[in-house]
Amino acid sequence: MRHLKSGRKLSRTSSHRKALFRNLAAALFHHESIKTTSPKALELRRVADRLIGLAKSNTAHAIRRAFTYLRDKEAVKKLFSDIGTRYAEVKGGYTRVLKIGPRKGDAAPMAIIELTQKKDESEQEKERKKKPEKEVKKAPKKAQKKVEKEEKKGVKKEEKKGVKKETKAVKEKTPGQESRKKRAKQEQGD
């Protein structure tokens, strides 16, 4: 009997299970809503709620503890700067699990797990606008570097072709001088 043994094993070893929840929690904090199987979502809820509870304290020790579990700097940064402040006044129930029915391929029960307090639409639009601006600034630099590299390669190839043409022209100018192989063939033929 497994009395008082909490948590699902999910047919995984303990290290695999720990890695699974580490990755799912990081994805949940990045995207604020993820789709997974129902048992995984119900177990992830326990992990995520504990991490959000840590984020509410916002101390150096709490940041280190969260990082030792998540191992993702961006997720920890978002957890403490954004998510933790959103839930400062809330005393639990940080996540919500919505069951969405069976998966098409294997009929596994699926669910969406999401944070209960999402960002305002205006804040999400601001973040979306900020990201493309940064990408647009980076793109021309990369494109310029690629063009410069291609031009350099093209110039080098042209120089090599020019050198080859010159050597061929020099050989053609002196028809009286023959290579050793040609002379050897002529001597053998005679």
What are the tens digits of pLDDT across the range 10-40? 999 999 999 999 999 999 999 999 999 999 9
Residue 114 lies in a domain: yes
* Residue type at 113 in one-letter notation: I
Residue 149 lies in a domain: yes
Residue 34 lies in a domain: yes
Query: Can you give 138-177 as a three-state secondary structure string?
Result: HHHHHHHHHHHHHHHHHHHHHHHHHHHHHHHHHHHHCCCC
Task: Tell me which residue range forms the domain holding 98.
Answer: 14-118
**Do 114 and 25 share a structural domain?**
yes
- Looking at the 3D structure of the chain, how many domains does it have? 2
**Do 92 and 165 share a structural domain?**
no
pTM, whole model, 2 decimals? 0.66
Residue 72 lies in a domain: yes
Residue 128 lies in a domain: no
Residues of the chain with pLDDT under 70: 121-122, 124, 131-142, 155-179, 181, 190
